[in-house]
Amino acid sequence: MRVSQWLSVYGSDKVSVHNYGSFYDSLFERLKPQALLEIGVYRGASLRAWRAAGVADVYGVDRDVAQSHCGPAVLYGTMPEDAATIARRLPMLDLIIDDGSHLYPDYVATADVLLQRLRPGGVYVIEDIQTQDSVDALRRDGWRIEDWREKTCRYDDVIAWGVKE
């Protein structure tokens, strides 16, 4: 199955609320990630989907202690405050997905720290970007933007992503 199908099976909002399925299908086809970190795990649906899609090492971070019990590889932490501590506990990664606070200062500061854990050729994704100012700032900083807002009429149906050189 494609990763979007696994996301649907496990009830992830990446395909039920947002329109990210085709983005992740294409990304997984090209990248074939084997080590992944997701910030903001909620109930762990996407963590289970990533594992089912064949990612060998799946890690999560969440600031909610209850969510940090979604599996053995979910760490408790608040980003960006705990980013350096979390980074020291992680192996090198192929994919980092920030689905955390959705606040521009938080995800930019978190990326500044966690990019050190991303392998060359790895991809960093920021989901649910909530303002046009944030989209514009990320674009100016060189991030690629995937924008489905017009199609879905959701104000936050935007992803920024970049490949580590």
Q: Which residues contact 130 (CB under 8 A, 6 or more apart)?
A: 102, 103, 155, 156
102 catalytic? Reply is yes
Q: Choosing from 2, 43, 102, 119, which is the catalytic residue?
A: 102
Catalytic residues: 102
